[in-house]
Structure 1
Amino acid sequence: MKRFFQTNVRFSQVFGLLRTFQRQKIFRFQYLGKLLKWCKIDPKMARVVKVNVAPDDSIFTIALHNNRNRREFNRPIDEELERTVSRMISTLNPKKKKPPKKLQKVEGAESVHDEVMANPKISLLDAEEKEISLNCLSIEAWKQTKFLLINDDHYPVLYNPPIISQIKLSSVPLAGMTMYPRLQFRHSTANESKFTWYRTVHKDFSNLVETDNATECAHHDMNLENSSEWNEVGQSQTYTPSVDDIGHRIGLSVTPGNEKYQANKSHCGVQCGKTVSGSVKAGPNMCIFDERHKLINGRCPNDSVRVVCYNILADCYAETDTAKTLLFPYCSNEFMKIDYRIQLLQKELYGYHSDIIFLQEVDRFVFEDYLSPTMSLQNYASIFGNKQQTNEGGSIFYSRDKFRLVSVENKVLRESLQQDDIHDLVGQLLKNNNTFYHRVISRGSCVLVAVLQSVQFPERYLVVANTHLYFHPQAQHIRLIQMEVILNIVNKKVNELQSADRSRNVSYMVCGDLNSKPRTGLVEYMLTGRIPANHADWYSGGIETYHGTDICLSHDMKFISACGIPRYTNYVAGFSGCLDYIFINPEQFEVEKVLPQPDHKLVISETALPSSICSSDHIAQVVDLRWLPCEGRHS
């Protein structure tokens, strides 16, 4: 009988027979998947209709899968069902259409249109197999539809079925580094899906092929469930290869699911995603952050906050010829690839057990494909803001156990300077010198400002600002203006929160890569609250960009550098210096513990940073802060 099914029976006949059995209560529909597998009929080829509706879209898609063929209908969201059905009949009717040439040459082959059938009669059936009226909104009708009936053929209808649109593993998985698959879902999430990890039975060091996008493994279509080739090794969302995995490839099968189509149940037409990694390699014996991790004992208590500030080196800069030949010629191309660096970065970030993380030079795709989904597994929420005219910017991650997000805003500094009325003093400073003004507004730097509310202490609000200022060594005057704009934005947000409710205790901090050494005017301005009109940094761009006024900058906010003044936070061949800061108000926070810098011998072990043991040319700044008592504090 099995041979009969494999050779002589069309799928439509099998399915029709099953439907007859079901009506007579002889056969349960959920057994269909098992029967398909027994008959060696690929569910991908099964007759099924998938209806996909994207949020806030003006059209929806009806995909008709008919054995090996697929027809797609894009229909307006406000169309009536009668019009939709009429259009489907018109498209499926093979009149005046010739069958494909390939099928004409095959003896006994039926054309695509013949298989759909001439003059099709189409109706939609609900769960009780009652026909749905054509006089209703099409999209509402499809929500209720259980089967699409074309003449006598039943097509199961999946409304917004779970779909994996991307699945990928690292081409160079490292032993000891957790593997986080790159996944993109539609109508599903990782938490609703089923994960199964596999490892090749035999070692294979020759399975890598170069592609345009990345180094990927060949043979993605191989059968991961084949016990002679693969062994199952895990069912969690992540997998950490061990030393025993070195030389083996890792495979992953993900069955997407949602509330309606659960991943642990078989649904005809719901396809799992499969991918295979490259061969597992040995990771570095010691990373630059390993000793630092040993000094951290889990999470901070509720009355403390651990903060990380880190420029992670954007991939869009690391992969340039300038980076490879001039900036980091000492670092092998193998260690500059994001596929390698992201594994070190993820392990480093998770090991700090932070409450708030400020990152700079974050590529949008790194944030969306890697950091945001993987940090979510550690119960972090995330926000991102990119610089103008680039796809990299800053991001903030905060622990959901400690904070909830009240508001967030990504401000492009030059736009704020031109549009917001809180910068009147800066406007006066710039109006006398067009050269200076145009140099300032030609920079796309931004600041990501978020308001966080403490979960344990709801009366506490924290205004945080994350930025990456203009880098040029002769642009101290531009960075002074940029910081003044940022302080105005933060101060306005603090005042708004306090004005809305006087019982609130509002704190603030400013973090980021400020591209300014400790003895520059910018750091002086942050610590003292004043920068005179004749400060040397106003002349850093040359006399032609001096503002030419007697206006000095001042602010009333209180700041100290929470991590002090390290010897360096950026170390490359030819330059080292302290550029990264976590500025806090000493009337609101007390510094409990500053994580020591890495051993200098590790930093220079491969000339400079980045290297095989460090993913960036910067060093993460990590500090534990304790909230000070609210009573008697200055706001």
Structure 2
Amino acid sequence: MTGFLKRAVLSIIIPRPVRLKFQRKTSPTESSWLSPVASVLLRPRPRAILNMERVNVRCVEEQDEAMSIAFVYEDMNLCLQRDKNEQLERSLNRIRSSILKKSKIIGKRSNKKLKQDQTQSGENHKDLLLVSLCNSFGKEVDLSSTNSEAWQFGSVLNVGSFKYSVHRNSPTVTNLSLPRCAVISCPVFPRVSFEFAEDAEYVWYRGCPADPSTIVKSTEEVEDDSKVLKKKRREDTSENSTNANEPSVSHWEKVSTEKVYVPSKMDDGFLLKLDCTPKSSSDIGVTAKCFLKNPVRSASTFPFEKRQSFTAKVTPPNSLRVVSYNILADLYADSDFARDVLFSYCPPDILHIDYREQLLLKEIRGYNGDLICLQETGKRLFENSLVPTLKSQGLEGLICYKHLQPEGEAIFYRTSKLRFIESHDIVLSQAFQADGLYDYLRKAVSNNEGMLKRITSRSSVVQVAVFEEIANPSRKICVANTHLYFHPRAGHVRLIQTAIITHHLEHLKKIYKEQHGCDNLAVIFCCDLNSTPGAGAFELVSTGSVAKYAADWYSSGKEEFCGGLAISHSLKLNRCYSSAKYTNYVSGFQGVLDYIFYDHQYLDVEQEVPLPEHSDVVQHTALPSQVFPSDHLALVSDLKWKDA
């Protein structure tokens, strides 16, 4: 072969390429050309070929013009992005050249499989690799076909002597991971996402780690070695990804086929493995695997389990169990400031969302709530954990994110009791600026530019959902859920935010009366007001008014004083847990910030689940801790209809 022809082979510019010239010294007589007809042809065969490797092709017509072709050859992961309208010939050339490139990277390492391909391909010369695509009947696909036309389900890709069945838009696991740790009796939820899948099969295994030194301490024995923990924080947190190496375990024992696994005492000190196989009506995808690399932890009794003895059963028809809980968003816990200042008493691995999430799920599930209002709900926690775990208990979830924030307020409701009608969520700062309902508030606040700017720059929202009872549709409930601005010198801002919320709820009651003939819309208001009893925001909600010269108007000094404003509303709200000493307990503050308000015209308190004992709260200094997943306590109250 002439020098020009050698370069042509290496550059993959042959008009009808069917083979690959590898980098080694040969004489011109050692190589010869083959026509496309000389490619390895397949005999007609059934569509399904057992024990054949897969090539996964992703080609979505309505999306961009690119498609992907992915398969494994000789332990090399190949994934090519090609144009849908490109000719098949160019794609096969690219597959061939990609194998060459990766083989060169392997370098001096023995290429046994490739040598086998060269020998079994029927070539007299060992420097050729044949690549072709055949349809399901064994006929070679026309090289002038477009990629979109050529790569059909049931086709076969031939790379030397190896054959790959084509799976087009096969069900695929796009992400699968487990938390860093698992705790006995706490549900473990896989973080999983799919493409082209309608369902999935899950199989859990447990195995004893080969190296006993990997066994971690129980939650009571966790030590805060700052140097080690800071090093861990710098490590890749995705250690449980599907690409992670399998841990050293002599035997994996199958323990469950459910999506969610709750470790038992038998799992103490063991590792966990999860296999997830995506499925559709026409295909079964590749099984993805992930591992829990830290052995399952033991834990003592959690204080909230004592409270759950009061909520073991779902409430009867004429009652509603309401839960209000600020669950501490990962956004605010996962920072050096949180670890080193706010919650310095809490070991960082206990503060990590992977640990707290499991406690949160166990705690919230155990309250058997009919209406669950959560504040500081992170997006990933809501979608990946809260929605699936509470759905399994018969609850559906609604989310309202704060303006431009990945956390917000969530409402879950029991679908066997309540029918969701509609949402009336608002961003408080936007409603303040645009809604005529708040003209008088804007006029007063406009007297001070600093205060106006402070209010309009806040991201706070109020989540509002209207429900009706399935057993008695004449009973309608308006559930409001909010978390007000936190700054200690922002009582004036919280007053305005509270006024916006109460006026919004008043307006909804008016609409339902005038447009729907409903004059008994009962309000339930769950909130973290960031205000203690006696503060302006609390007084406005609970008493219905606040004076023009209330102290909160002066909370930020003259710089943001608008002159004061008298505010009132007509809602008839009483408070649950009126004797609580605190709902938030951290090293620098202890007090009541969280509330459940209910419409006393239509509802009465039937039960208030006792708050944890103080000795439990301070067992590990403050909240959160090894046994409390948040810096707030959950409020759980059973309300009963007065007309029952």
TM-score (norm 2): 0.78
What is the correspondence of 1:197-596 to structure 2 with a 5 Å cutoff?
Answer: 197-200=205-208, 204-206=212-214, 210=232, 212-214=235-237, 216=239, 220-222=244-246, 228-262=250-284, 270-283=286-299, 285-408=300-423, 410-502=425-517, 506-548=521-563, 551-596=565-610
CA contact (8 A) 1:169 1:277 kept: no
CA contact (8 A) 1:50 1:160 kept: yes
User: Cα deviation per residue 1:351-408 (whole Å; 9 max; x = unaligned)?
Assistant: 1011121111223233233323333333332233332343332222222333344333
Q: 1:193 aligns with which of 181, 198, 201?
A: 201
CA contact (8 A) 1:147 1:154 kept: no
CA contact (8 A) 1:199 1:233 kept: no
> 1:274 is paired with a residue of what secondary structure?
strand
> 2:293 is paired with a residue of what secondary structure?
strand
- Structure-2 residue corresponding to 1:617: 631
Letter in 1 for 2:379: R
CA contact (8 A) 2:548 2:567 kept: yes
- Structure-1 residue corresponding to 2:68: 62
Question: CA offset at residue 197 of structure 1?
Answer: 2.3
CA contact (8 A) 1:124 1:131 kept: yes
CA contact (8 A) 2:56 2:169 kept: no
RMSD of equivalent CA atoms: 4.0
The 1:179/1:437 distance shift into structure 2, 3 A limit, reads same
The 1:495/1:122 distance shift into structure 2, 3 A limit, reads farther
Question: CA offset at residue 143 of structure 1?
Answer: 11
- Structure-2 residue corresponding to 1:48: 55
Counterpart-to-counterpart distance in 1, 2:430 and 2:87? 47
Counterpart-to-counterpart distance in 2, 1:49 and 1:217? 23
Letter in 2 for 1:282: S
CA contact (8 A) 1:202 1:229 kept: no
Identity of aligned residues (%): 31
CA contact (8 A) 1:207 1:217 kept: no
Letter in 2 for 1:243: K
Question: CA offset at residue 221 of structure 1?
Answer: 3.6
The 1:407/1:104 distance shift into structure 2, 3 A limit, reads same
Letter in 1 for 2:167: L
- 2:143 matched to 1:168? no
Question: CA offset at residue 511 of structure 1?
Answer: 1.3
Question: CA offset at residue 289 of structure 1?
Answer: 0.6
Letter in 1 for 2:235: D
Counterpart-to-counterpart distance in 2, 1:498 and 1:123? 69
> 1:279 is paired with a residue of what secondary structure?
coil
- Structure-2 residue corresponding to 1:5: none
- Structure-2 residue corresponding to 1:606: 620
- Structure-1 residue corresponding to 2:190: 181
Letter in 2 for 1:234: S
Question: CA offset at residue 578 of structure 1?
Answer: 1.0
Counterpart-to-counterpart distance in 1, 2:486 and 2:354? 26
The 1:133/1:509 distance shift into structure 2, 3 A limit, reads farther
CA contact (8 A) 2:173 2:194 kept: yes
CA contact (8 A) 2:332 2:338 kept: yes
The 1:309/1:149 distance shift into structure 2, 3 A limit, reads same
Question: CA offset at residue 310 of structure 1?
Answer: 0.7
User: Cα deviation per residue 1:36-69 (whole Å; 9 max; x = unaligned)?
Assistant: 6xxxxxxxxx242322549x74456332426345
The 1:61/1:273 distance shift into structure 2, 3 A limit, reads farther
The 1:47/1:475 distance shift into structure 2, 3 A limit, reads closer
CA contact (8 A) 1:103 1:109 kept: no
CA contact (8 A) 1:570 1:578 kept: yes
Counterpart-to-counterpart distance in 2, 1:390 and 1:510? 22
> 1:418 is paired with a residue of what secondary structure?
helix
The 1:548/1:348 distance shift into structure 2, 3 A limit, reads same
Letter in 2 for 1:195: V
The 1:547/1:399 distance shift into structure 2, 3 A limit, reads same
Letter in 2 for 1:197: Y
Letter in 2 for 1:369: N
CA contact (8 A) 2:132 2:140 kept: no
The 1:204/1:543 distance shift into structure 2, 3 A limit, reads same
The 1:371/1:553 distance shift into structure 2, 3 A limit, reads same
- Structure-2 residue corresponding to 1:101: 104
Counterpart-to-counterpart distance in 1, 2:264 and 2:132? 58
Question: CA offset at residue 593 of structure 1?
Answer: 1.0
- Structure-2 residue corresponding to 1:4: none
> 1:625 is paired with a residue of what secondary structure?
strand
> 1:289 is paired with a residue of what secondary structure?
helix
TM-score (norm 1): 0.79
The 1:493/1:154 distance shift into structure 2, 3 A limit, reads farther
User: Cα deviation per residue 1:588-620 (whole Å; 9 max; x = unaligned)?
Assistant: 322211111111121122222222211111110
Aligned length: 577
Letter in 2 for 1:580: D
Letter in 1 for 2:165: P
- Structure-1 residue corresponding to 2:48: 29
